[in-house]
Amino acid sequence: MGRFQYWMNVSLDLRIEQAPGDDGGGEWLRIDEELHRELNARARKLAGLIHGRVIYETMEEFWPKARDDASLPDFLREYGEIWTSAPKVLVSRTRREADHGTLIIGGDDAIEQLATLRAETSGTLDVGGATLATQLLRAGLLDELLLFTHPTILGSGRPLFDDWDRPVELDLIEQRSFTQGVTMHHYAIREGASG
């Protein structure tokens, strides 16, 4: 059985965007070469990527072009190749087509379809997008969090999970610090702690 792992860059106050439309970006992020190489190494080991529509469209806009863009540093081109060639699932009610070997799951039974995919997969599946991660957490299907915490307090903006008001018990699996003050915390969600 696979594991769903929610990857996200967060501020110290667990915000993922300061303003609507940031789509996971912003000047508060401190993603340098060291951190990107760590992301690349982890992404290479994934069994696949599961993205909600907003994050998928953000990624598809940049990464397929980045892999062949000689003006970019090698670690960005490398991630472009990783993202483009990885098995991907787009969870969307509105998209009907996607390139780069992407499977589209949508409709009222999307979470059930993802549960089946998880059961049939060996390895870790990256979850991208707060809406999707919240739905998986509610369904008791989210297994891990991989958070890259940037040394900024945003004070407002979109939280790590949408409309979540219950405690979730976590166990720390690993942690690491990076030169720009970013810290990585990898947690397992305790069984029965969500849903």
Residue pLDDT, tens place only, 156-189: 999 999 888 889 999 999 999 999 999 999 999 9
Residue pLDDT, tens place only, 60-119: 999 999 999 999 999 999 999 999 999 999 999 999 999 998 999 998 999 999 999 999
CA atoms of 84 and 63, how far apart (whole Å): 7
What pLDDT score was predicted for residue 73? Answer: 98
Domains of the chain plus CATH, in order, are: 3-189 (3.40.430.10)
In the chain, the amino acid numbered 2 is G
Two tokens, residue 86: 């990885």
Q: What is the percent of the chain where pLDDT is above 70?
A: 96
What pLDDT score was predicted for residue 168? Answer: 93
What pLDDT score was predicted for residue 45? Answer: 97
What pLDDT score was predicted for residue 191? Answer: 79
pTM above 0.85, yes or no: yes
For the segment 6-29, the average pLDDT, to the nearest whole number, is 86
